[in-house]
Amino acid sequence: MKFSTSIKHFQDAVNKVTQAIPNKALDPRYENLHMTLENQSLTLFATDGEMSITASTDVESADQGNLGVKARTILDFLRSMYDTEVSFEVERQQMSEQGIVNIATDKGRYKIPCTFESKAEKQEKSYDIEFVLPSVDLLNLIHKTIFACSIDGMRPAMMGVLFEIENNNLTAVSTDGHRLVRFRKSCDVSQQEKQKVVIPARVLSVLQKLIGEGVVTISIDSVNKSIRFSMDGLVLDAALIVEQYPNYEAVIPLENDKKLTVERSLFYDSVKRVGRFSSIGDIRFSISPSSLQLSAENINEGESAQENLSCNYDNEPIDIGFNAKFIEAALAHLDEDNVVVELSSPTTAVILKPEKEKDDDRLIILVMPVRINN
């Protein structure tokens, strides 16, 4: 079995596929990069048991066959190489399922071991939901939601992003219990009955690195609880989170009658500066008509900060405290020039959203307040 290609061409495909392999693979079954050669096409496959990535790349060859090599070994080799033509020739050891891959370039010869019993069995899926999103829209959706996912292993459902699909609308939700993001987007999917799936945050994080230009086809197998993302020459398959997602709608306040409008970039910069002076990471907002005062202090070190911003607010004064990092992250994921903050009381969650909503997507970010000392 022989094939040839360029280092860069081969490395691009290997880098994508090996995203499925964790840095520390605890199970040796998931350490291999699987390669299948057929019709001058090399198909690469890697999995961690929960997520798998398949990519195809053109090579020069008249042979066919399959083998597996240690993913870390081939990755380390490729990262140390310069771009040049490279050829691979596989030798099977006598009376064994083991072999050697002979690698040749213009400057050197290299050998790495391989196996001929490493091709993973892929379970056939039956997808009952399928729709297409432009890659830029999917990237935007992931960017807007993934930051608010929980990292608490005791709440596995919240370690993913909820997708609700119904009547040409896609709603994506993430929460860690202290903040919540709901992002609604129009999409072309004829799903009359609402379907809910929870996609692991790790899967979406890997997907961010793989998405290029074009469109992404999203296929869901609601029976076997799996999802597939298909792009040009690349497929990511993953298991969905089976635990039920919490009722997020119950925590979204409906009676926040006080509205503050402020320039997003100025607000964001002030939160970053003032929040650094807090000993416990909190920040106080003192809101009065036409004025927003931000303050924080570190009593132990004798440090404090205070800034004032102009705003549009015509309700009764209110003091409310937040985790500065949560407000900072929320503002970083809003794109409009001005942001609206809807609030009710010092103990009620606030909603941050763009002043002007786009025609085909609607975003709100909810942040819970914290107790502040007077």
Q: Cα dist. 362→102, 174, 181, 245, 298 in Å?
A: 55, 15, 11, 21, 38
Task: Provide the pLDDT for residue 302.
Answer: 85
**pLDDT tens for each residue of 140-182:** 999 999 999 999 989 999 999 999 998 888 999 999 999 999 9
Whether 2 and 61 have beta carbons less than 8 Å apart is answered as: yes
> Rounded to an integer, what distance in angstroms lies between the CA atom of residue 34 and that of residue 117?
10
Res 23 pLDDT > 90: no
Task: Provide the pLDDT for residue 346.
Answer: 94
Q: What percent of the chain has pLDDT over 70?
A: 96
Picking from 180, 181, 185, 148, the residue whose alpha carbon sits closest to that of residue 165 is: 185
Task: Provide the pLDDT for residue 124.
Answer: 66
The pair of structure tokens assigned to 37 is: 């050669």
**pLDDT tens for each residue of 201-215:** 999 999 999 998 899
Q: What is the CA radius of gyration of the chain?
A: 26
Task: Provide the pLDDT for residue 192.
Answer: 72
Q: What is the average pLDDT across 284-300?
A: 93
Average pLDDT score, the chain: 92
Task: Provide the pLDDT for residue 153.
Answer: 87
Domain ranges of the chain: 2-115, 129-250, 253-367
The pair of structure tokens assigned to 243 is: 């635990």
Res 108 pLDDT > 60: yes
Could you tell me which CATH class the domain 253-367 is placed in? alpha beta
User: Do the two domains 2-115 and 253-367 of this chain adopt the same fold?
Assistant: yes
Per-residue confidence band for 92, with pLDDT thresholds at 50, 70 and 90: confident
**Cα 338 to the chain's mean position, in Å?**
26
> Rounded to an integer, what distance in angstroms lies between the CA atom of residue 218 and that of residue 229?
5
User: What number of CA atoms fall less than 13 Å from residue 225's CA on the CB side?
Assistant: 10
CB burial readout 291-302, b (16+ within 10 A) else e: ebbbbbbeeeee
Instruction: Kindly indicate whether the domain formed by 2-115 is annotated with CATH number 3.40.50.150.
Output: no
Q: What is the average pLDDT across 35-40?
A: 92
Res 185 pLDDT > 60: yes
Res 291 pLDDT > 90: yes
Q: Report the helix count and the strand count for the chain, using DSSP H and E.
A: 6, 24
Res 131 pLDDT > 70: yes
Whether 300 and 279 have beta carbons less than 8 Å apart is answered as: yes
- What architecture (CATH level 2) is domain 129-250? Roll (3.10)
pTM (2 decimals)?
0.91
User: Helix 201-210 and helix 135-145: axis angle, to 10°?
Assistant: 140
Helices (H), 167-322: 201-210, 264-275
Res 117 pLDDT > 70: no
Per-residue confidence band for 95, with pLDDT thresholds at 50, 70 and 90: confident
